[in-house]
Every structure is written in structure tokens, then in C-alpha cells.
A and B are shown apart, each in its own frame.
Chain A
Amino acid sequence: MTGRWLNIALAVYVGLIFTFVFAPIIFSLIFSFNSQRFPTIPLGEFSTEWYVKIFNDPDVWTAVRNSLIVSSSTAVLATVLGFCTAYTDFRYNFRFKGPYLALILLPPTIPLIIMALAMLAWLSRIGMSGQLWSIILAHSVMTAPFAMAIIRLRLHQMDPDLEAAAWNLGGNEWQAMRHVIVPFCAPAIVSALCLTAAVSFDEFAVAWFVSGLNKTVPIVILEIVQGNIDPTVNAIGTFVFLTSMSLVILAQLLFISRQIKSHS
């Protein structure tokens, strides 16, 4: 009776939710090609003015370079740390394992602003703040749990006899690691690299606090937003969005979709 109408109503509702979620992303994309300084409806003319503007801005280029350095270094560090923890959790049982895991998994639950303040105070204290690598240090702590989770999920799928089989065939523990565990985890490792890079690439609060004069892309955005309305933000935002999305889609293609399939 009302089943059909209920389905239609629900479909419309879900559509509205998705509209709300994606409206800012899509509008940002549209505005980035819009000639108006203060975009509204009706839209102005198509224009690549804002792209040209950021393309010719040396500050933006520096920020892009900084962001690439920060996110790639963060990705490598966080993935190494995440891998070590995931493997330890997979292989060993020991006292204080709970606190050990909490140590790595806790940071994402702490609000960014608090993390930013704590990092700034501490890194200044030990003379490590105001550098590009200050951001890398902070981001590695914040993103390692994501890498750990992805790699742990992969190890969970591994036949626990596989490592022992390598020993049984004459490989020592290091060889088993090199020839069995790492190859088995390879897709998860690449996926973890992509995701941690994507998270680091977008992070602005902690980066802004600890970076000193070294600006990354999100910091540039933050500074533009703090000033006047400037549509170059949309152009930069589109660039950031495309970068992050390629990383996420790469991670998805490599690992996550397979994960979902094998679990359902």
C-alpha cells in the first residue's frame, strides 16, 4: 500500500543528505571556474582566472612543495610505525599489551586543537618546532593508527601457519619477515601509505601551530580564508581535493574494496 511511496520518500531523503554532504565540495568546484569575486546565483562567466592566479603565486608553489614533502614523509613514517605495531599485535602476546596498543591508537581521539597546542609547546621546548619536519613528527603520531588498522586487518586475513611455514623451510625470522609477511601485506602497505598521505595532506590545525613560517597548502588556505573572501581558495581546494581523492581511490582500488568483498 504505502510501501512504494515510503520508498520514494526515503530515496528523496537519502538524496537530500547526499546533497548536503556534497554541496560544499561541488560548489567549491563550480566557484573555482566562476569569474565572480563573490559567487552567487546567477553564476558569472566561466573563467580560469583563479587558477592562473594561484599558478603564478610563488607562495602557493612553495606550499605545494612543502605539502608534498610533509605528506610523503609522514606516510612513510606512519606506515613503518603502523606496520611494526600491527605485526607486534598479530604475532605476540605480552603483559601491558593493552596500554601498548592504546599508546598508538589514542591520538586520533584527541581534538586537533589540543593536539596542536600540546605539540607546539613540547616541540618548542625540545627545540624542534617551527620546522617542516615538526609537522612530519606530529602528523606521524596522528596518522600511524590508520596505517596500523589497515595493516592489522590484512594480517588478520593471513593463515597464521604461513610465517611458521617459512621458518620450517629454513628461513630465519628476518627472512620470513622479508619473504612472507611483507609481500603478504604489500597491498595494505601501499594502501596505508596513500591514506596517511591523504590525511596529512589535508591537516591544517596542528600544521599551522607547529610549522612556524613554513606553510603547507592547508595553511595557505587557512590564511586566505582568514583574510577577505578570495575565490582562489576554491581553486586551491579543487587541487587539494583532486590530490586527496586520487590517493584515496588508489588505496580503495588496491585494498579496501577487496577487503569489503572478502568480509561480506
Chain B
Amino acid sequence: MTEPLVTFRNVEKRFDDFVAVRDMTLDIHEGEFLAIMGSSGCGKTTTLRMLAGLDTPSAGEIRIEGRLMNDVKPHERDTPLVWQSLALFPFLTARENVEFGLKMRGVAADERKKRALDWLDRMQIVEFADRNVATLSGGQKQRVALARSLVMEPQMLLLDEPLSALDANLVIRMQGVLTRLQKELGITFVYVTHSQSEAFAMADRVVIMSQGDIAQVGSPKDIYRTPANRFVAEFVGRNNIFTGKTGGSDNGKTKVSTLQGAFLAQTPDNPPGPEKQVSFTVSADLMTLTLTEPDADNKAKATLISEEFIGSVVTVFLEGQAGQEYKVQMQERALAELDLSPGADVWLSWEAENANMLETGS
């Protein structure tokens, strides 16, 4: 692999007593779409601001293309940011907003105008070039903000929850716009969001942060199917989490005795050994629901509590014999065929390969 574009080495950021980012080590590669995800206050925006030079690390090193950036001022960097608030200049027209960065860099007026119009055209809003930005719609403002950053032809674009102010269907459209742009331009996108759907839909890699720490880095699929720890498993949602003691392991599977019974789980790369407290997760959509006892590695009896519909997919909530909650995701049609009502007794089953053991101690 080539030299990473950005490296964070043991970066820490404190605000008085509050630690916003703790001991962060992370590489960002050229041309990737990286999403940094977490709930508010997890340090994701601080990470982005440090990359843009708006916050200075309290400890550690941030390098871009090998150059130490800790004390480089924001305006001496090539890291345009698309702001959550968009931060468009309200006293300027759309075109003047897009020209702003070029003007700061001393580009001549003709050249500025040409490049700004090119980008507005590319964002399909060239007809609004001379309108005051205050009169534009949310989606149009979004495009002006993107054009304003991209006209700088940066090697890396930073985005701080840029879609959070838009309504749902516009978000989906803008996601398409963003992924296409990133592929066409081949530049690095660093995208901060609290939305799992945005991160998973667009990013090549996702960084999940929790209280200033990185909880897991991986592809959306890795994070979804094999959450590394309890935090990620709970954060990405719709996971069934089991906790118990390890027994013997055999053929890549480890036996785990839980309150709900003994189950087989996939042995992780560094096996925990016997008699250890461990947790494993099973995605809700990898569980099977049957009326009769199935022939499977792992099975459990449960009682149906409620159903929750999102489009054609339904999440079924059940209660196990030890009182714990199960979640199963399935097609609405398949559920209808079973003809269940709350209180019905059913069987759950899942494959041992789909039982993903978490890091011990999490």
C-alpha cells in the first residue's frame, strides 16, 4: 500500500478538563471515502476540525503527505470543509460565494468567474449564479457549498454532517451526488456524520468513535456483520447480543454457555480460551423464525411481543425463556405467511458462522 495521505499519531485534544479526542491513531488513504461516525460529543467533529486546522491537537502528530500539520494555520492548508451550517456568506451571490476561495488565493477576476460558473454548472445550479444565497432552497445551498469547496481543486474534501438539515428524500439524492462526485474526482472525502445510513451508503471505510476513542475501523460490511465490541454492536443496532462463558472449541467454533442455553459461535482470530466471559452478536436479519423446532446449530424458544414495520421489512421483537429480548428482521411477506399474533410461541435459529464473538473485555 502507498503512503497514507493523512496520518494521526496518538493525537489528543483537550478542552480544559474535557478530553474530546483521546490517543487517536488513524490513517486516511488517498482517494478513499472515509466516514467518521458517532453520537454527538464523541469527538468526530473535533477530529475533522483538527484536520482543517481549526483546532490544534493538544498532543500527538497530524501529518498530511508526511508534512507535520499541528501548527499550520487553517488558511495555509488545502482542506476545504463543507459545514454543517453550510456557512455560506449571506451577503454574497451564489457565484461570489464559489469565487471566495479563489479570491483569497489571488486568482484573477476573469479566471475566478469562469471556474465558479463551471462548478455551478456541474452542480446544475448555474441559473442561480447571480441570486443571493439567502433566496436559494436547502438543496441548492448545499450544492453552492459543495461547489465553493470543490472549486479549490483540493486533494481532500472535509464534510461535517452536510446533509443533516435536508429532508429525507433530498438526503438520498445528495448521497448519490456525493458518491458520484467522489468517484469522478478521485479525491479523498472525509465525511463526519451521526447517521449510520449515510455512512454505510457512501463510505469505503467507516470509523466509529465513542467518547473520544476509536471503537472500530472497517468497511461498512465488516462493521455491520462483525462488530468488534459491544459499543459498536449496540450502536449499529438490530444486533442480538449474548453473554456467557466459553467452553471447548472445535473446528473453528467455540461453545458459549449463556443463560439462554449453550450456543456455538465463530472462534475469533485470537481465541479467548476456555472459561472466559465473552459476548457474541447475531444480526437480526441472520436469525430465522420457525413455528416448529428447527434442525440447527443454535436454537432457542421465544414468545412474540411486537412487530415494527419499515417498508417491506419488519423487525419482530421476542422474549426468550430467560426474559431477554430478541430481534429478528425478515420480509413482511414471510412473516404474514406464519400468521402469528402476540404471545405466540416460536423457535429462533441461526448459523454458528453468523455468531460473531466480540473482543473480550468489551
- From B74, B84, B105, A167 is in contact (CB under 8 Å) with B74
Interface of B (DSSP majority class): loop
Size of interface on B: residues with Cβ below 8 Å to A: 25
Query: Which of A168, A170, A180 has the most CB atoms of chain B within a 10 A radius of its CB?
Result: A168
Contact B90 A168 (CB under 8 A): no
**Given A166-B100, A170-B105, A186-B91, 19 other A-B contacts at CB below 8 A?**
A159-B87, A161-B84, A161-B87, A165-B81, A167-B54, A167-B73, A168-B75, A168-B80, A169-B148, A169-B149, A170-B152, A171-B75, A171-B100, A171-B104, A172-B73, A172-B75, A179-B103, A179-B104, A180-B89
Judged by a CB distance under 8 angstroms, whether A108 is at the interface is: no
- From B74, B90, B100, B105, A164 is in contact (CB under 8 Å) with B74
CB distance from B154 to the nearest CB of A (A): 10
Q: How far is the CA of A168 from the CA of B101 in the complex (A)?
A: 8
- From B75, B89, B91, A170 is in contact (CB under 8 Å) with B75
Contact B91 A183 (CB under 8 A): yes
Judged by a CB distance under 8 angstroms, whether A162 is at the interface is: yes
27 contacts between A and B (CB under 8 A): A159-B85, A161-B83, A161-B84, A164-B54, A164-B74, A164-B87, A165-B83, A166-B89, A166-B104, A167-B53, A167-B74, A167-B75, A168-B75, A168-B79, A170-B104, A170-B105, A170-B152, A171-B75, A172-B75, A175-B75, A179-B100, A179-B103, A179-B104, A183-B89, A183-B91, A183-B92, A184-B90
Q: How far is the CA of A183 from the CA of B85 in the complex (A)?
A: 19
Contact B85 A168 (CB under 8 A): no
* Smallest CB-CB A-B distances: 4 pairs: A169-B101, A165-B87, A167-B74, A161-B87
Residues in A whose Cβ lies below 8 Å from that of B81 = 165, 168
Judged by a CB distance under 8 angstroms, whether B52 is at the interface is: yes
Residues in B whose Cβ lies below 8 Å from that of A171 = 75, 100, 104
CB distance from A38 to the nearest CB of B (A): 55
Contact B87 A170 (CB under 8 A): no
CB distance from A7 to the nearest CB of B (A): 41
Residues of B in contact with A (beta carbons under 8 Å apart): 52-54, 73-75, 79-81, 83-85, 87, 89-92, 100-101, 103-105, 148-149, 152
Q: How far is the CA of A159 from the CA of B83 in the complex (A)?
A: 11
Contact A169 B152 (CB under 8 A): yes
CB distance from A92 to the nearest CB of B (A): 15
CB closest residue in chain B, given A186: B91
Residues in B whose Cβ lies below 8 Å from that of A159 = 85, 87
Residues in B whose Cβ lies below 8 Å from that of A175 = 75, 104
Q: How far is the CA of A172 from the CA of B202 in the complex (A)?
A: 33
Query: Which of B53, B85, B104 has the most CB atoms of chain A within a 10 A radius of its CB?
Result: B104
Q: How far is the CA of A43 from the CA of B53 in the complex (A)?
A: 74
CB distance from A188 to the nearest CB of B (A): 12
Q: How far is the CA of A118 from the CA of B52 in the complex (A)?
A: 51
Residues in B whose Cβ lies below 8 Å from that of A166 = 89, 100, 104
Residues of A in contact with B (beta carbons under 8 Å apart): 159, 161-162, 164-172, 175, 179-180, 183-184, 186
Q: How far is the CA of A166 from the CA of B92 in the complex (A)?
A: 13
CB closest residue in chain B, given A164: B54
Q: How far is the CA of A65 from the CA of B101 in the complex (A)?
A: 46
Residues in A whose Cβ lies below 8 Å from that of B80 = 168-169
Contact B100 A169 (CB under 8 A): yes
CB distance from B146 to the nearest CB of A (A): 13
From known contacts A164-B74, A183-B91, A184-B90, infer whether A169 and B104 are also in contact, taking CB-CB under 8 Å: yes
CB closest residue in chain B, given A175: B104
Contact A168 B74 (CB under 8 A): yes
Q: How far is the CA of A166 from the CA of B73 in the complex (A)?
A: 12
Contact B89 A162 (CB under 8 A): yes
Residues in A whose Cβ lies below 8 Å from that of B101 = 169-170
Residues in B whose Cβ lies below 8 Å from that of A167 = 53-54, 73-75
- From A162, A168, A180, A186, B54 is in contact (CB under 8 Å) with A168
CB distance from B71 to the nearest CB of A (A): 14
Q: How far is the CA of A92 from the CA of B75 in the complex (A)?
A: 19
Q: How far is the CA of A161 from the CA of B88 in the complex (A)?
A: 9
CB distance from A258 to the nearest CB of B (A): 13
Residues in A whose Cβ lies below 8 Å from that of B74 = 164, 167-168
Residues in A whose Cβ lies below 8 Å from that of B105 = 170
Residues in B whose Cβ lies below 8 Å from that of A161 = 83-85, 87
Residues in A whose Cβ lies below 8 Å from that of B53 = 167
Contact A184 B85 (CB under 8 A): no
Residues in A whose Cβ lies below 8 Å from that of B92 = 183
Q: How far is the CA of A172 from the CA of B76 in the complex (A)?
A: 8
Query: Which of A162, A164, A170, A175 has the most CB atoms of chain B within a 10 A radius of its CB?
Result: A170
Q: How far is the CA of A164 from the CA of B83 in the complex (A)?
A: 10
Q: How far is the CA of A170 from the CA of B78 in the complex (A)?
A: 8
Q: How far is the CA of A70 from the CA of B103 in the complex (A)?
A: 39
CB distance from A173 to the nearest CB of B (A): 8
CB closest residue in chain B, given A176: B75
Contact A162 B87 (CB under 8 A): yes
- From B52, B84, B89, B103, A168 is in contact (CB under 8 Å) with B52
CB distance from B78 to the nearest CB of A (A): 8
CB closest residue in chain A, given B101: A169
Residues in A whose Cβ lies below 8 Å from that of B87 = 159, 161-162, 164-165
CB closest residue in chain B, given A158: B90
Q: How far is the CA of A175 from the CA of B79 in the complex (A)?
A: 18
Q: How far is the CA of A169 from the CA of B151 in the complex (A)?
A: 10
Residues in A whose Cβ lies below 8 Å from that of B54 = 164, 167-168
Contact A184 B91 (CB under 8 A): yes
Q: How far is the CA of A175 from the CA of B105 in the complex (A)?
A: 11
CB closest residue in chain A, given B52: A168
CB distance from A32 to the nearest CB of B (A): 43
